[in-house]
Amino acid sequence: MSSPRTRRWVFLLKKGYQDTDTSLQSSIITKVKGVTFTNTSELGERLWDVADYVIPPQGENVFFVITNLIVTPNQRQETCAESDSISDALCYEDSDCPPGKPVMTGNGVRTGRCLRVENMTRGTCEIFAWCPVETKSRPEKPLLGKAEDFTIYIKNFIRFPKFNFFKTNVLDTKDLKYLKSCHFGPKDPYCPIFRLGSVVKWTGSNFQEIALQGGVIGIQIEWDCDLDKAPSECNPRYYFSRLDSRFPGNSVSSGYNFRFAKYYRDGAGVEFRTLMKAYGIRFDVMVNGRAGKFSIIPTVINVGSGVALMGVGSFLCDLVLIYLIKKSHFYRNKKFEEVRSGHPVAANGKANVEQLQNLQTVEA
């Protein structure tokens, strides 16, 4: 059994005298800032700002930063050959391409023709789709490798409804220049501006590697508030982790990417688009916490329970030691002693029958 000192220590450490609230209400606002310049054959010279590389632009608790791209420009809805990397679209004759049947893992609907290059016996089905179809492979270097120096602004409002307690992770200051110059760190924990490269580094990952094929980063904000202390003692703690599975080599399961398109119309009013397969980093901002405050009800309940357990524990220990172990007589002799009444004993050493001693057992 634990000692009274141990029980008191646990009672204070676990704050058994407090009422708690774990139903944290939270709101997240995020903003990414930074610009970079690229010059590619598909896009030419281009300046990238936050409106180009952040999806969605509203600044939610889940957002995506583009770091690499496969660009297929000037696509129009017409007929063309399906990509030869799609096994479902390979053919030897027109009958292998039933018209109207979609290429489920491809880009369009078969027209009924098998297109072959020169004298090759095998070709690919002709499809009606956004043509030309995507055929390029992922670049060997991330297009937006300099995104490492971009910054993320994470503003978090919290409320513990049971105690009507509000707090935010931003320093309460009237200095308008503060957020323009500060960066999160041990010396400035109330600056909610994080460098992208630092966040990735804190997860144990390399930014250029994750920028090449994409990944998922978790940013967890934890609030553990003792409301018996001043509100300034309720501070956020940040934890950073890599959430997607990292496989060795170039596994097909590695990375994170998706496709989207930007649509236009030419002078004749015909619609065309630029298709982009975007690789990048998805950020998930998660918030949890608990708050505690002194309350007489849990204090009385925990103190009463402790007192009751002390009595029950002592009784159970005695029960085991006196009746259930092999050397119970030894413990019984130590626990109790026999006291004789003060009647004289006969000279011959034999007790008089009329003077039988009354034996009584008293607890030592």
What are the C-alpha distances in Å from 281 to residues 91, 196, 197, 228, 255? Answer: 38, 10, 11, 40, 9
User: Distance between CA atoms of 61 and 198, rounded to whole angstroms?
Assistant: 19
67-81 residues labelled b (16+ CB within 10 A) or e (exposed) = bbbbbbeebeeeebb
- Could you list the residues known to form a binding site for ATP, using ranges: 31-33, 151, 257-259, 277
User: Distance between CA atoms of 243 and 21, rounded to whole angstroms?
Assistant: 28
- Could you list the residues known to form a binding site, using ranges: 31-33, 151, 257-259, 277
CB neighbours of residue 64 within 10 Å: 20
What are the C-alpha distances in Å from 326 to residues 154, 243, 322, 330? Answer: 67, 57, 9, 9
Q: What interhelical angle do 296-323 and 4-13 show, nearest 10?
A: 150
Contacts 24+ apart (CB under 8 A), 311-318: 313/1, 314/1, 317/1
Amino acid at 226: D
